Amino acid sequence: MIRKLTAGALLSALMVVAPFLIADQARADDPIVIKFSHVVAENTPKGQMANKFRDLVAERLDGKVVVEVYPNSQLFNDNQVLEAMLLGDVQMAAPSLSKFGQYTEKLQIFDLPFLFKDMAAVERFQNGPAGQKLLTSMEDVGLLGLGYIHNGMKQLSASKPLLVPEDARGLKFRIQSSDVLQAQFEAVGALPVKKPFSEVFTLLQTKAIDGQENTWSNIYSKKFFEVQEHITASNHGLIDYLIVTSDEFWKSMPDDVRAEVDKALAEAIAHGNKVAMDKATGDRAKIAESGRSTIHELTPEQRAQWVEVMKPVWAKFEDQIGKDLIDAAVESNM
């Protein structure tokens, strides 16, 4: 009787817990999904990096981790993505370094006009101690930088030729959500408007704005050159990206899995950086060949005028960014 009761009880208990055990097992076998959201086209350095990352993870992690890439602001635009990340709705993104102002003042360093003389200097700074320290500059809000990826130097485009700062006076320029970029355009007497990347083409096409600043690959892939008659090869600033995740998500992965994901990411970044180098020259050439937009080179004297007017912006942001950080960036030019 006692044995019968025990067996019966065991059976009933099993019937109650079995569905939960099966569900738990299914959860344990479910892949870790990394939604990777970005705003640019797939044929850009960032787009190519994200796709490469997805493919390497698929190849190496045996279904334990699945990366889903959402390009072209399909999932979130840059104004929404970091909030979504902190809510757990997206696990990785690579916003432009100009879009972190709400979370840290330090990354504003990358927006200072005429700070880096070329991409080699940017690379030295990012890989040096000061650049690496910046990866954890948003730890207090739960965001973690996993690495940088290049796009390239920014060029100015407008509905008229911009050869000296005076040419920009009174024109409306779309800018990213950065106070430094706002100050940079105000310094030349222009009217900056902060707008998401996804709206730039329409704003230019409808002439709601007169100009914008961007890299050759973004100007080409988003067809800005079709609605801007003039581009100045100014190389006055930088668009690079921070690959970012939430600290909570990153630490939730098992150590061995996280290490493999990190390795795949490093390889994807190297791939994206190579694409960036090729595109800086290739996309410029394609724009020139299209004949839709005239590319203007600056003489050394014209360039010196832009530097003179824009560089005082550095002093305005020195307290927020830190003089030591600015000095380290300047040193990377040597």
40 or 253: CB nearest ligand SIN? 40
CA–CA dist 310, 178 (Å, integer): 15
Long-range contacts from 322-331, C-beta under 8 angstroms, 24+ separation: 322/106, 324/130, 325/106, 325/109, 325/130, 325/134, 326/109, 326/112, 326/115, 328/125, 328/128, 328/129, 328/130, 328/131, 329/109, 329/112, 329/115, 329/116, 329/125, 329/130, 330/115
Minimum distance from CB of 239 to ligand SIN (Å)? 5
Q: State the minimum distance, in angstroms, from the CB of residue 151 to ligand SIN.
A: 6
Query: Which lies closer to ligand SIN via its Cβ, residue 67 or residue 200?
Result: 200
Binding to ligand SIN in span 234-253, by CB under 6 A:
239
CA–CA gap between residue 181 and residue 202 (Å, rounded) = 21
The answer to whether 146 touches 245, Cβ cutoff 8 Å, is: yes
Of 96, 178, 184, 245, the one binding ligand SIN by CB under 6 A: 96
Question: Is residue 273 close enough to count as binding ligand SIN by CB under 6 A?
Answer: no
Tokens representing residue 104 in the block:
């840290």
Q: Is 76 in the site for ligand SIN (CB under 6 A)?
A: no
Nearest of 167, 169, 162, 174 to residue 212 by alpha carbon = 174
Give the CB-nearest residue to ligand SIN: 197
Say whether residue 218 binds ligand SIN (CB under 6 A).
yes
Please tell me whether residue 40 binds ligand SIN under the rule CB under 6 A.
Answer: yes
Q: Which of residues 136-155 bind ligand SIN (CB under 6 A)?
A: 151
Report DSSP state, residue 97.
G
Phi-psi region of 114 (alpha: psi -120 to 50; beta: other; left: phi over 0): left
Q: What six digits make up the tokens of 201?
A: 């083409």
Size of the site for ligand SIN (CB under 6 A): 9
Min separation Cβ 199 and ligand SIN, Å: 10
Which of 34, 35, 37, 39 contacts ligand SIN by CB under 6 A? Answer: 39
**Choice between 222 and 253, CB closer to ligand SIN:** 222
Site residues, ligand SIN (CB under 6 A): 39-40, 96, 151, 176, 197, 214, 218, 239
